[in-house]
Structure 1
């Protein structure tokens, strides 16, 4: 399987996750997450697994072997995740961190994968010490780290880019955004009279908005999948996830004249207990503990390791100046769209699907949908994601931009996207007690019930 096939598989898994979360946890609410971040964490877990647990992980990730996963991840880390901001492109940073109990050394083979493939920095800690509970301050739900914790894997994905063609903020006006329940709310819409990359299909339209590109070959863009029907998002997500390669075959490539053109300005915060979603999709063995994670630590205690939780948190802001880098490059197999008229309307005034992708490879970094536009996202999620970025990027020294955390901010000139993914490993012989803390409904307050 080459890189393109691996990316197609990764996209298929991402759309499966999106469909499931939309139909369950995020029904009638907003969603944004990084399937790539979750994919990398699961791949790292697979590198330390064997037997039926490994087989189940490979099957879920649509991969044939750990070598294939490692090859894919190595390409991502070295090529896709390289920071393009010095060359004039989007700022993109990705980092992995491993926190390991001081009593359990990593197996040399697993450490080699951690160090060389995933470029993850590892740190020995004492999980028996109560002070360790502040290891990743303000990031984890209370009670997530206790004396039974033996390993924590964390990664953070940061993206910040400017639109190739910025919107004129003076032309942003409030219009109705129609909700699934038939009501509507007033939200700010951005507009432009310039040509847009749009394709029309049976029942939906697709818009591609490019980011300013750098001097490398990567081309980032944000794509909007807009159903014709105001309540058509669930059916559209079902269609997009129905067959492998559907996404690639329905991306727009030709700029056309637009008639009425409006897309909303929005912010979304999202927190997901990914472990629960994965278990409902059939990935259960890594979480059940059956001696399947024995390839991680060089100790007989490795027989008792299992994954207790995987937490995922994301934040996205889209405004007049900020959005991604898009489809000015060659396309893979493109499905012929319906005949494009002289002008085409694209008015995203009802729930839609969006994603951020790198077009040269086809990697999907972020995916989400907008059900209820709310300019006041969950403040706790953004704070926690910032905390993880500070912890992983700063304390572990995984990247060479020491100003990254300080320069991460939300304003009216950029689009900023951040995702974090954290997984925990505990001993099977200790009772599993999960306190969701910040994931309680009373604390989420808006937008999401996870």
Structure 2
């Protein structure tokens, strides 16, 4: 099944993906010599949701980062992107021969707060997110377990422990929300690779080092070699976001995330952003998953 992609969506992919990849590779990949795999799709839609709940300079900074000019543009683009997954996300199952693609959003809200009607309308209507009230103050471990179980289920078991021990340390009575999304994809090759033809061959790393890895050979295109691989990558992304120019949402004194919940007694800001991604390419096809979550905290006013 082919799903048309608007030119605007393609334009976003070029701008945002390059901006994100450049900063994260510099921060977490090339310098550490590790394999890096991320999902710009997952990042973009979570940042878009934060934009819906922001105003002022924080919103302007998010516009610049996302390559958008208005909330209408952001929500329209988000709707298009989410709809890309919709044809394959039916409860009736995936048609034989079609890729399995799904994308879901969710929100966990402090039980002392309520989503603002305008924000709730977008969360549920555009992002199709399910919001749930939770007790961050007294049941932090339970909330973390619930978020992790949700992400694991949504990604068919590929993303486990999205929220790490680092997340548990910062969830407390000041936590206002956790926003998260999860993406899953599985597709088979139109023509499967013959496993008997997979051989160890030399692969050249960025630093010039050579390693031997399994390469698959196509029966149809004998001259093309594809390396078989499986990567998993996770990191806390707030520092990378700040370095790419998106600092205001994380600023305890300047963040203007004012349009999400009521009643608040302090300034809302993004405390942590967690991202985890998985991809495996083998003789049968590709299976991949990603999940991103942000912990939004309320900075209490000093007396």
| TM-score, structure 1 normalization | 0.58
- 3-state SS, counterpart of residue 164 of structure 1: coil
Gaps of 5+ in 2: 149-160
- 1:90 paired with 2:82, answer no
Rounded Cα–Cα distance in structure 2 between residues aligned with 1:144 and 1:116 = 30
> What per-residue deviation string (whole Å, max 9, x for no partner) do you get for residues 53-111 of structure 1?
10110111010101111011112222344317226310001000000001110100000
- 1:117 paired with 2:117, answer no
Rounded Cα–Cα distance in structure 2 between residues aligned with 1:118 and 1:293 = 18
- 1:269 paired with 2:295, answer no
> 1:135 aligns to what?
146
Rounded Cα–Cα distance in structure 2 between residues aligned with 1:179 and 1:87 = 38
> What per-residue deviation string (whole Å, max 9, x for no partner) do you get for residues 373-416 of structure 1?
xxxxxxxxxxxxxxxxxxxxxxxxxxxxxxxxxxxxxxxxxx21
Match among 59, 66, 72 for residue 61 of structure 1: 66
Is residue 6–residue 63 contact of structure 1 (8 Å, CA) maintained in 2?
Answer: no
More helix by share: 2
Rounded Cα–Cα distance in structure 2 between residues aligned with 1:178 and 1:3 = 36
- Aligned pair in 2 of structure 1 residues 48, 177: CA closer, same or farther (>3 Å)? same
Match among 261, 268, 276 for residue 305 of structure 1: 268
- 1:187 paired with 2:187, answer no
- 1:23 paired with 2:26, answer yes
Matches within 5 A, 1:35-50: 35-50=40-55
Is residue 9–residue 81 contact of structure 2 (8 Å, CA) maintained in 1?
Answer: no
Shift of 1:181: 3.4
Matches within 5 A, 1:371-382: none
Is residue 193–residue 219 contact of structure 2 (8 Å, CA) maintained in 1?
Answer: no
| Structure index of larger Rg | 1
> 1:11 aligns to what?
14
- 3-state SS, counterpart of residue 52 of structure 1: helix
Q: What is the count of residue pairs matched by the alignment? A: 274
| TM-score, structure 2 normalization | 0.85
Rounded Cα–Cα distance in structure 2 between residues aligned with 1:287 and 1:47 = 16
Shift of 1:180: 3.1
Is residue 27–residue 240 contact of structure 2 (8 Å, CA) maintained in 1?
Answer: no
- 3-state SS, counterpart of residue 276 of structure 1: helix
Shift of 1:287: 0.7
> 1:145 aligns to what?
171
Rounded Cα–Cα distance in structure 2 between residues aligned with 1:29 and 1:39 = 23
Is residue 193–residue 261 contact of structure 1 (8 Å, CA) maintained in 2?
Answer: no
> 1:285 aligns to what?
248
- 3-state SS, counterpart of residue 187 of structure 1: strand
Gaps of 5+ in 1: 196-257, 323-414, 432-450
Rounded Cα–Cα distance in structure 2 between residues aligned with 1:152 and 1:33 = 20
Shift of 1:304: 1.4
> 2:155 aligns to what?
none
- 3-state SS, counterpart of residue 309 of structure 1: strand
- Aligned pair in 2 of structure 1 residues 426, 62: CA closer, same or farther (>3 Å)? same
Rounded Cα–Cα distance in structure 1 between residues aligned with 2:301 and 2:219 = 62
- 1:426 paired with 2:297, answer yes
Rounded Cα–Cα distance in structure 2 between residues aligned with 1:321 and 1:65 = 42
> 2:154 aligns to what?
none
- 1:105 paired with 2:114, answer yes
> 1:154 aligns to what?
180
- 3-state SS, counterpart of residue 59 of structure 1: helix
